[in-house]
Structure 1
Amino acid sequence: MLIGEVTRRSGVSARMLRHYDSLGLVRPTGRSGTGYREYSGEDIRRIFHIESLRSLGLSLREVGRALDDPDFTPSGLVDDLIRQTLDRIANETELLTRLRRIGAAEPAGWEDVLQIVALLQALGSDSAGKRQRAALSSAAEDRMPVEALVEAALNETDPNVAGALRWALARSGDEGLALLARGLEAPEAEVRKRAVQAIAAIGNDTADALLQQALTSTDIVVRRHAALALGPHGVADTIPTLIDMIVAEVNDVDAADALSALSADPASADRIASGLVSHLDSGVADSSARRRLTQALAGIPGSTASRALAELAQDEDRGVALTAAYIIGLRDARDSGGR
């Protein structure tokens, strides 16, 4: 079969067939009477084998080894090709994400594009200082794509940078809330916590509605951080979770502060005091938990809390009794000073 017919049947160009010939990959087994290359059936099969291996990403040198070296084993090479392909996909995906973010920022010219690229690079820097400056700059200049800010906020471990990112997101309004809501479903507890904190920092009606939903989450991490965010805003539904946090000694000081803020409402104050007393009397809480619950009563005004403290001052647990007596003394001094 002459080269023209081989080209038509195989789809491989005559130029490439000559290149294969020069490399020794496929040498025609014969020549016509006029000196033209003639390919046998075995030559055609080899051409198809070469094209098949090339489709997997093998170089021509690797193709030659695969076909001619009897000791060649494909497993190692295939593993290498898999790793190379995964790396290439990751790089291309990262590039695609970067391009989409630049497009979402709607740059007016190349100067805007360069500025956005610089901010994105700084946001991914190993330097916490650079990341923080990028977050602050993005908020001031309104250039950073919100998707990039959300991703950074959900993964940031440095508290100063995280605060700057939350501030930048708060300035963006509702735009990042849908993305942050997805963070509430993240497999990592720390990411879920950061999502709640970022939503709380936005502080508008839509954000508060998301946090209200989070209060009923089956995820205890989400529920607790939502309670810490909503408690100081007077949301009484946070009370059971905040009290449970004191018992479990999880952010218990913050939880007690949130209960104290909630107790500005007299109805909430009685509900909080009753909840604390219920846990104190349940017999479930250990000695240290009972002391924390007693301490939490210090920030709760009203007669219910006062009666509970008077009874606790006689408690069998000396630590609880001393804590209650000390709180009563502080309350008496405060009340006498106010007369």
Structure 2
Amino acid sequence: MDVVTIGETMVVLTPESSPLMRYAHSYSRKFGGAETNVAFGLTRLGHQVGWISKVGDDEFGKSLLSFVRGEGVDVSEVKLEKTAQTGLYFKEVRSGDNVRVQYYRKGSAASTMSPSDLNEAYIAKAKYLHITGITPALSESCYETIIRVIEIAKANGLKIVFDPNLRKKLWSEEQARKVLLEIAALADIILPGVDEGTFMFGETDPETLGQLFLDQGAQVVILKTGAKGAYYFTKDEMQFVPGFKVKTVIDPVGAGDGFAAGVISGLLDELPLEEVVKRANAVGALATQVVGDFEGLPDREELRQFMCEPTGEDISR
């Protein structure tokens, strides 16, 4: 197995008859979660991924589990929880730059995850552990689970990829800052946005933020600047890699998860860091071209066609 990820995936209800929920009378039902978005992005690029989580022992949970399995993700470590329901959220896509999300996830099945749910032998099979800052925000037991899975990963030689994925609606800013900094200090590869770096350190300059994350102990920091592109930092080098232009952003939700999938895919393929970030920029851009959290994530041929013209010329310029 190449990657194991852990976190909550929920039912997503999106108004169809009107972009505003107050006027909507019909909804489409999909699924969404940062960790499975990354998992889908990786499986479409040919990598083997396992997902650890809990879902409710209800119709939504069973449907979700079947769907994730159908995307090629191993779900053998996902448990059905009889005492809690599958979480859900509503997403209003008003325009490409105006998306509103309302969560109904408190007390969900995934929020009951605990360290006892972890199978060390399963995790040890992977090369990379992918985690986000969302999971520790769900409950104290989820926080303890993330700390424990990091310990297991370190003991078994996995590289830890951490996307802060800040969700201010889930916890207080003080607690969020404390925990995100704690996890950042334990990760090998960190994928923050500039806004998240500013939240964590109070700085706005990308180069300063990159150095601060390295000082925390990371080996690689890849700092996202939205559509413009991303910087990467190691102890020996720093470089900015420009993004890929798209005519219109249809749905920005999931672009960061696509970016993370591109990073991990590039690392698994042992590409140079510049090419890793270039791939990540491309996957993130493609994710914005389709309504949905993961539907726009490409396979290898789609990615190749997007990144290069027939002559092989980089179209990001």
How would you bin the TM-score normalised by the shorter chain?
Answer: under 0.3
Task: Looking at secondary structure, tell me which structure has more helix per residue.
Answer: 1
Larger strand percent: 2
TM (norm. structure 1) is 0.26
